[in-house]
Structure 1
């Protein structure tokens, strides 16, 4: 019996050693990228949304959307629609603010003046959106929660067409641009749907806390207090070396990584490999 216990103990130690060796080897294979600090601004906000190429900062404070630059600050709020769920600003002239509790979007101009308000239920009682993003040619990406279906919604005709097959595992993270809608499902499978109706899989992503899609084969993800770049085209992962010991949110665009702490946004120059 003593020999058997000794054997079990030895096997456990061996397995533990092999796991540590494997993890150490994996970590050694991850290249590290060091961003270079450029500037920073102080902001009083609850949620940092992101920044555009013209150095406009978008953020939410007390459920009010703000757009701030060096010269002006403008704001938008709609108390009747409840909490802001998401903001899409890839089209600088037509931002889309989504209120999921009321199944409604508000489209605003560059000064955050309201242009149009659309309740998806008015187009189809069976359309209940849980995710919305800007696409091209006056269209929106819409994920219909009721049937787990991705749609392209036409803003002019208020009609839509389905893209691909229904999702089987829901959505954890998602984002749309003019040509593609990308999402991470509840099994951390990375999927990409195009305006042409086809869907591709980029495999499984590591369990993480937040994701920003850069293009159909590259994304930045947060795990705890660390940021990584996942590049499926190169089949590589890169770790971003950060000065901040903690942060609330991040945003990457045009080689600028913005890190939001409790009251400050710091911008770094970060060239993707």
Structure 2
């Protein structure tokens, strides 16, 4: 009898563990959308996309658009502050700042500065500054938008930037060897670990990533080096975006928004 009880308990806990192998999600919304490049959704529910090199924000049927033909392709967009959006046109070495109505408030061509820069990465930092990575010096620094001055804060990087992401206080990057790093506003650099192979990645925290690989999503813990599947239903999708327990999946024809609780 004791052996039977033990066997039943082992079977039960084995089944429970198998069910916990995936991180569950709950569908919150579904919206149809024409094929385009999905950038993310802000805390106010505005969705940001690029189609035919036109930057757009949409919510409840309202659409705002911004396009400039003279700067080429939009390389990167920083949407963390809806009141000060940052569009980076890498080929023309230029950043454009937009307000929440997508009116252009500032345009900076870094080639035209007294000490020109060649920018590989750009994003919004705190105190009216930009994070900039300058290829000339191979250093990361802060650009003061009021003073139009640039100050490097790191030694030269030892490898090229493969992916980068930022918030007001930290700049994160993954280099060509998939090594992950973070630097704060004072130039203190931290090695975070090594990312697995990915097709797309988002840094959730200094310890956590969400990666897309072969049309599947995974939660990756840099410290534990563990990878857990996320239980989405899409068999094929273009991109994803995560913020504040909201996971958005962008396919060829729609955006699906999910509620998700990531492991701690």
Q: TM-score, normalised by structure 1?
A: 0.86
Partner of 2:204: helix, strand, or coil? strand
The aligned residue for residue 65 of structure 1 is: 55
Residue pairs, 1:220-239, within 5 angstroms: 220-232=210-222, 236-239=226-229
Compute the displacement of 1:101 (Å): 0.9
The aligned residue for residue 174 of structure 2 is: 184
User: Which of 46, 59, 74 is equivalent to 1:56?
Assistant: 46
Compute the displacement of 1:53 (Å): 1.2
Compute the displacement of 1:126 (Å): 4.1
- Greater mean alpha carbon deviation, residues 223-232 or residues 137-146: 223-232
Distance 1:69 1:207 in 2: 34
- Answer yes or no: is 1:135 the counterpart of 2:147: no
Partner of 2:70: helix, strand, or coil? helix
- Answer yes or no: is 1:149 the counterpart of 2:139: yes
The aligned residue for residue 15 of structure 1 is: none
Residue pairs, 1:34-183, within 5 angstroms: 34-183=24-173
Distance 1:155 1:266 in 2: 36
Distance 1:224 1:209 in 2: 7
Distance 1:43 1:151 in 2: 38
Partner of 1:121: helix, strand, or coil? helix
Compute the displacement of 1:234 (Å): 5.9
Distance 2:38 2:134 in 1: 26
Compute the displacement of 1:217 (Å): 2.1
- Greater than 2 Å deviation, 4+ residue runs: 122-126, 231-238
- Answer yes or no: is 1:199 the counterpart of 2:193: no
Compute the displacement of 1:238 (Å): 2.2
Distance 1:145 1:40 in 2: 41
Compute the displacement of 1:42 (Å): 1.2
Distance 1:124 1:261 in 2: 44
The aligned residue for residue 12 of structure 1 is: none
Partner of 2:132: helix, strand, or coil? strand
Compute the displacement of 1:124 (Å): 4.7
The aligned residue for residue 212 of structure 1 is: 202
User: Which of 244, 247, 256 is equivalent to 2:237?
Assistant: 247
Q: TM-score, normalised by structure 2?
A: 0.89
Instruction: Point out the structure with the larger helix share.
Output: 1
Compute the displacement of 1:151 (Å): 1.2
- Greater mean alpha carbon deviation, residues 151-160 or residues 234-243: 234-243
- Greater mean alpha carbon deviation, residues 241-250 or residues 207-216: 207-216
In structure 2, relative to structure 1, the CA distance for the partners of 1:124 and 1:271 (3 Å cut) is farther
Contact 2:193/2:223 (CA < 8 Å) preserved in 1? no
